[in-house]
Each structure stands twice: as structure tokens, then as C-alpha cells.
């Protein structure tokens, strides 16, 4: 759950920073605008392949996603929530 929230936060922040619409992001990724909206509202959970497409479309380093994933997993392990 933490990773989904972080994914949504990152993508929304980047869209805002760039002045890019969800429609433009959808076009770059090759999915529909309603599908992008469902990812960003948490109605559907993106797989790693989709996360990668979002990051590539926004020119974000994939290492950023991987480092967030590792951090979240470490935190879950520490709290026993994994």
C-alpha cells in the first residue's frame, strides 16, 4: 500500500511540475486517459511494467523507483508487515 501511495504522489508531483496533463501522459505511455486516472486514484494497482512505463514517459530514473521499493520493503520487514 505504501508503494502505491508513493507512486501516485511521484507521478502527480511530476505532472504538476511539468504542467503535463494526464491525457498527455496516457498518450506517451500508450494507454487511455481513464486508465491513467484509475492508477492515480488508486482504483487499480500498477504492476512493475506499468510503473516503468510511467517513469520512462516522465524521464525519471528507474533507480528512484527501485530505491523507494527497497526502502519500503525494509520498513515493512522491520515492522513485521511484509
Q: What is the pLDDT of residue 67?
A: 58
**Interval 8-64: pLDDT, tens:** 999 999 999 999 999 999 999 999 999 999 999 999 999 999 999 999 999 999 876
Strands (E), the chain: none
Distance CA 11, CA 64 (A): 12
CATH number at residue 26: 1.10.260.40
Confidence of residue 4 (pLDDT cuts 50, 70, 90): confident
**Total of domains in the chain:** 1
Q: Is residue 70 pLDDT above 50, yes or no? A: no
Distance CA 82, CA 66 (A): 17
Measured at the CA of 24, the angle between CA 23 and CA 29, to 5 degrees, comes to: 100
Q: Is residue 78 pLDDT above 90, yes or no? A: no
Q: What is the pLDDT of residue 73?
A: 41
Which residues form the domain of 18? 2-79
Amino acid at each position: 500500500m505504501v508503494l502505491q501511495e508513493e507512486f501516485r504522489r511521484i507521478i502527480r508531483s511530476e505532472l504538476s511540475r511539468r504542467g503535463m496533463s494526464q491525457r498527455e501522459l496516457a498518450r506517451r505511455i500508450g494507454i487511455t486517459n481513464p486508465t491513467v486516472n484509475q492508477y492515480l486514484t488508486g482504483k487499480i494497482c500498477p504492476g512493475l511494467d506499468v510503473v516503468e512505463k510511467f517513469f520512462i514517459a516522465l524521464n525519471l530514473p528507474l533507480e528512484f523507483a527501485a530505491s523507494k521499493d527497497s526502502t519500503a520493503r525494509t520498513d515493512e520487514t522491520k515492522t513485521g508487515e511484509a
